[in-house]
Amino acid sequence: DCNSSLPQHTHQGQEITLVLAGEFIDEHATYKPGDFIIQTPKHQHSPKTREDQDCLCLTLLDAPLHFTSGLATLLNPFSQLFFR
């Protein structure tokens, strides 16, 4: 969706993303269709879409995200439930 974001997070494993359409940005770069991004536990970011366009990505995780700011940190104890 336009103007969407994920709370700031790091990774407990790898996050692999392929941008299929549109764009998203984070603290490190602007990602466009065809971009292939690998995030590891040493990466922290807050990805968000642009105000004027949608973004479609395929993202694979091999471990839960770890939220590092705001109310989203309350979800961290439950994240393991999705990786059993």
**Which residues, in sequence order, are bridge partners of residue 65?**
11
Q: Does the predicted TM-score (pTM) go above 0.85?
A: no
| Strands 36-39 and 24-25, sheet pairing | unpaired
pLDDT by residue (tens digit) across 14-23?
Answer: 999 999 999 9
| Cβ atoms of residues 55 and 21 within 8 Å | yes
pLDDT by residue (tens digit) across 51-83?
Answer: 888 999 999 999 888 888 787 788 777 777 766
- Tell whether the torsion through CA atoms of 47, 29, 40 and 45 is positive or negative: negative
Residue 84 has pLDDT above 90, yes or no: no
pLDDT at 14: 94
- How many Cα atoms within 13 Å fall on the side-chain side of residue 11? 19
| 81 vs 9: which has the higher pLDDT | 9
